[in-house]
């Protein structure tokens, strides 16, 4: 949550900061601000609303000339999204300005202490204590003051700091919130992630927890958690600016939906060599485990629900899936015979990180499925498999989710083979099925025009139900979440067989029920549930595989996806559901890439 950027060089800082903030807006967008070192000291502007609004204010602010500055786009935690609570925050003496991503858990205690010493606070935020502490400890040495300040902080932070006394330098510190250094020629940067910097440099250094850093136009200096200088070589990013731009689409979400065949190709194809699944990065003795626990948040958890069924079905090991925010506090019975799999697009989700630590503390082996290279989860887990989805910008995940499914499928087949639980013929069929997925996803995208027409018919419904059994139920959960998060329609996902135990009371004439019917062996059962809701007046939109022609006799509308292997169809089945959410949101005039109250990277509990 929240995006931060810092710049020092020889170009005007304001356009660079604003452009970086626009790229970081997916992390939070309720208010934004920038601070610049000018010839007259530090100047800042900040306001509630999106970066666009800030940019309009900046265009009229004459006193923001400078070549060194910091910026922030916020997702409010402490204090509502007002102008005053927006970042940057300045010390009462105007000497320091900071931007912060994270939460200071002991801020009340520090605030009380400083207030007793006469410091007057301007905002309701936890962040302000940091900048007031910096000023309080300052005796002419910023690094010393920063060290003393962060020693007092409990919680998480990625900080960028300006001091009026040190022109051309931005200071930074990191603890449990992502922060990178962008290394340029005659200019250097800090940012929450690469998308903010890719226009300027592809060479980045990942800061670790406990590290602090200082950048000036010609130098990058990093200190380890003990305060000793440390040398870190930059890594070179391979993707280019186009990956972080809309590329002609109206929204990142549609661009990312359309990119799914390529993302699947990049994720699956290099891992199949000579007809064998090769997971180079994984060293696991699968015979050691008597249980697998998958844990994640949001859509990544829904991917885990698919993975649970596929892995258990092929490996014959009990598999559970649980949301990370519950698992982390449950004191679950896990031990060295448990494999804990965590799934995260960003690799920075706070609850997923905590769940991973919980697994490690209890002696389990840990495997992470992550998209962002070098992220906290990727570094913490014993083993990592990357989803090569490329950068995902839209808040609602699409290509991130399908590539998570692909990795779970690859892993399930790989593990079952290692365990000797897959005969040659079944293995070959699955490998063939996996290889076919990118092309099948491409064909599923052809449903776009038909889904758009359906969205025009049903966008004004009060509530939409999604039903399905087994893998179809796991997909119903994701389809329903997609719709809620971007269109704000009420929606529920139900195990089709469970509907009659209460929820069917909500089915009334005109209610739209999306019935997922790709699970071949349970088709007849779901078809009965379709009849039950139709008998009560519901309109049914069914999603089924192409060979299931009889579905036309059951449902009012049918969307058919290519026939896939019976365990692999979720990768295609989700595509019409993503499109439905997108077009309903479009019809309803919603801000698709930045839905209200959400953020892409949830780094708070």
Q: Would you state the structure tokens that stand for residue 155, as one six-digit string?
A: 């919680």
> Of 50-58, 87-95, 313-321, 341-349, which segment contacts ligand G6P by CB under 6 A?
341-349
The answer to whether residue 344 forms part of the interface with ligand G6P (CB under 6 A) is: yes
Taking residues 368 to 397 in sequence order and writing x for each that binds ligand G6P by CB under 6 A, - otherwise, the string is ---------------------------xxx
**Size of site (CB under 6 A) for ligand G6P:** 16
By beta-carbon proximity to ligand G6P, the closer residue of 149 and 480 is 480
In the list 158, 408, 467, 602, the residue contacting ligand G6P (rule: CB under 6 A) is: 602
- Find the shortest distance in angstroms from Cβ 602 to ligand G6P: 5
Closest-approach residue to ligand G6P (CB): 298
* Contact present, 337 and 290 (Cβ < 8 Å): yes
Active site residues: 2, 600
Enumerate residues 241-300 that contact ligand G6P by CB under 6 A. 297-300
**Cα–Cα distance between 399 and 394 in angstroms, integer?**
10
**Cα–Cα distance between 543 and 472 in angstroms, integer?**
10
By beta-carbon proximity to ligand G6P, the closer residue of 26 and 494 is 26
* Contact present, 294 and 322 (Cβ < 8 Å): yes
CA atoms within 13 A on the CB side of 254: 17
The answer to whether residue 323 forms part of the interface with ligand G6P (CB under 6 A) is: no
For CA atoms 25, 27, 33, 38, give the dihedral sign: negative
Enumerate residues 540-599 that contact ligand G6P by CB under 6 A. 598
- Find the shortest distance in angstroms from Cβ 396 to ligand G6P: 6
* Contact present, 482 and 577 (Cβ < 8 Å): yes
* Contact present, 100 and 87 (Cβ < 8 Å): yes
Question: 116: Cβ–Cβ under 8 A, 6 or more apart, which residues?
Answer: none
Q: Report which DSSP code applies to 99.
A: E
Length of the chain: 605
The answer to whether residue 77 forms part of the interface with ligand G6P (CB under 6 A) is: no
* Contact present, 220 and 6 (Cβ < 8 Å): no
Nearest to 346 by CA among 308, 386, 304: 386
| DSSP collapsed to 3 states, 53-65 | HHHHHHHCCCCCC
By beta-carbon proximity to ligand G6P, the closer residue of 169 and 349 is 349
By beta-carbon proximity to ligand G6P, the closer residue of 184 and 400 is 400
Enumerate residues 476-515 that contact ligand G6P by CB under 6 A. none
In the list 345, 487, 526, 539, the residue contacting ligand G6P (rule: CB under 6 A) is: 345
* Contact present, 479 and 577 (Cβ < 8 Å): yes
Enumerate residues 401-430 that contact ligand G6P by CB under 6 A. none
Taking residues 440 to 479 in sequence order and writing x for each that binds ligand G6P by CB under 6 A, - otherwise, the string is ----------------------------------------
* Contact present, 226 and 151 (Cβ < 8 Å): no
- Find the shortest distance in angstroms from Cβ 26 to ligand G6P: 9
The answer to whether residue 349 forms part of the interface with ligand G6P (CB under 6 A) is: yes
By beta-carbon proximity to ligand G6P, the closer residue of 149 and 352 is 352
Question: 589: Cβ–Cβ under 8 A, 6 or more apart, which residues?
Answer: none
* Contact present, 468 and 519 (Cβ < 8 Å): yes
**Cα–Cα distance between 518 and 528 in angstroms, integer?**
14
By beta-carbon proximity to ligand G6P, the closer residue of 402 and 512 is 402
Taking residues 351 to 370 in sequence order and writing x for each that binds ligand G6P by CB under 6 A, - otherwise, the string is -x------------------
> Of 64-72, 344-352, 492-500, 568-576, which segment contacts ligand G6P by CB under 6 A?
344-352
The answer to whether residue 102 forms part of the interface with ligand G6P (CB under 6 A) is: no
By beta-carbon proximity to ligand G6P, the closer residue of 220 and 477 is 477
For CA atoms 44, 45, 51, 52, give the dihedral sign: negative
Helix (H, G, I), strand (E, B) or coil at 513: strand
Which residues are near ligand G6P by CB under 6 A?
A: 297-300, 344-346, 349, 352, 395-397, 598, 600-602
């Amino acid at each position: 949550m929240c995006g931060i950027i810092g710049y020092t060089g020889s170009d005007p800082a304001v356009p660079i900061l604003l452009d970086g903030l626009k790229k970081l807006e997916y992390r939070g967008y309720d208010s934004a601000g920038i601070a610049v070192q000018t010839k007259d000291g530090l100047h800042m502007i900040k306001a509630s609303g999106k970066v666009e609004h800030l940019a309009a204010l900046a265009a009229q602010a004459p006193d923001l000339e400078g070549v060194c500055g910091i910026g922030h786009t916020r997702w409010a935690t402490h204090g509502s999204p007002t102008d005053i609570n927006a970042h940057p925050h300045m010390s009462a003496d105007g000497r320091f300005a900071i931007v912060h991503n994270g939460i200071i858990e002991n801020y009340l205690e520090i605030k009380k202490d400083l207030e007793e010493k006469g410091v007057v606070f301007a905002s309701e935020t936890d962040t302000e204590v940091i900048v007031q502490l910096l000023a309080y400890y300052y005796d002419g040495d910023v690094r010393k003051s920063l060290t003393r300040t962060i020693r007092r902080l409990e919680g998480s932070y990625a900080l960028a700091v300006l001091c009026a006394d040190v022109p051309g330098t931005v200071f930074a510190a990191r603890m449990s919130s992502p922060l990178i250094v962008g290394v340029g020629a005659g200019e250097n940067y800090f940012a929450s992630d690469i998308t903010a910097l890719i226009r300027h440099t592809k060479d980045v250094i990942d800061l670790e927890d406990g590290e602090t850093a200082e950048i000036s136009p010609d130098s990058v200096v990093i200190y380890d958690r003990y305060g000793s200088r440390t040398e870190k070589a930059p890594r070179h990013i391979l993707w280019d600016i186009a990956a972080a731009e809309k590329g002609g689409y109206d929204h990142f979400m549609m661009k990312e939906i359309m990119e799914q065949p390529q993302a699947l190709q990049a994720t699956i194809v290099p891992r199949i060599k000579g007809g064998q699944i090769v997971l180079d990065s994984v060293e696991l003795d699968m015979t050691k485990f008597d249980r697998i626990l998958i844990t994640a948040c949001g859509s990544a958890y829904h991917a885990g629900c698919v993975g649970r069924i596929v892995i258990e079905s092929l490996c014959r090991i009990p598999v559970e899936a649980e949301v990370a925010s519950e698992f982390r506090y449950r004191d679950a019975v896990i031990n060295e015979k448990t494999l804990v799999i965590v799934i995260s697009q960003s690799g920075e989700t706070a609850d997923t990180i905590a769940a991973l630590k919980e697994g490690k503390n209890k002696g389990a082996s840990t495997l992470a499925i992550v998209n962002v290279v070098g992220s906290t989860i990727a570094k913490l887990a014993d083993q990592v498999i990357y989803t090569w989805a490329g950068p995902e910008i839209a808040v609602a995940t699409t290509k991130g989710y399908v590539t998570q499914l692909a990795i779970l499928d690859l892993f399930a087949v790989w593990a079952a083979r290692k365990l000797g639980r897959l005969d040659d013929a079944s293995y070959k069929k699955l490998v063939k099925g996996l290889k076919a997925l990118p092309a099948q996803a491409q064909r599923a995208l052809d449903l776009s025009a038909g889904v758009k027409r359906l969205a025009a018919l049903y966008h004004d419904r009060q509530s939409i139900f999604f039903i399905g059994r087994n893998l179809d139920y796991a997909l119903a959960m994701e389809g329903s979440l997609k719709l809620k998060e971007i269109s704000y329609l009420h929606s529920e996902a139900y195990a089709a067989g469970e509907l009659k135990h209460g929820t069917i009371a909500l089915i009334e004439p005109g209610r739209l029920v999306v019935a997922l019917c790709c699970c071949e062996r349970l088709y007849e059962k779901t078809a009965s549930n379709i009849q039950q809701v139709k008998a009560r007046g519901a309109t049914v939109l069914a999603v089924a595989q192409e060979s299931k022609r009889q579905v036309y006799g059951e449902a009012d509308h049918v969307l058919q996806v290519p026939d896939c292997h019976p365990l692999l169809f979720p990768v295609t089945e989700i595509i019409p559901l993503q499109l439905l959410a997108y077009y309903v949101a479009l019809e309803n005039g919603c801000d698709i890439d930045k839905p209200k109250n959400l953020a892409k990277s949830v780094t708070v509990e």
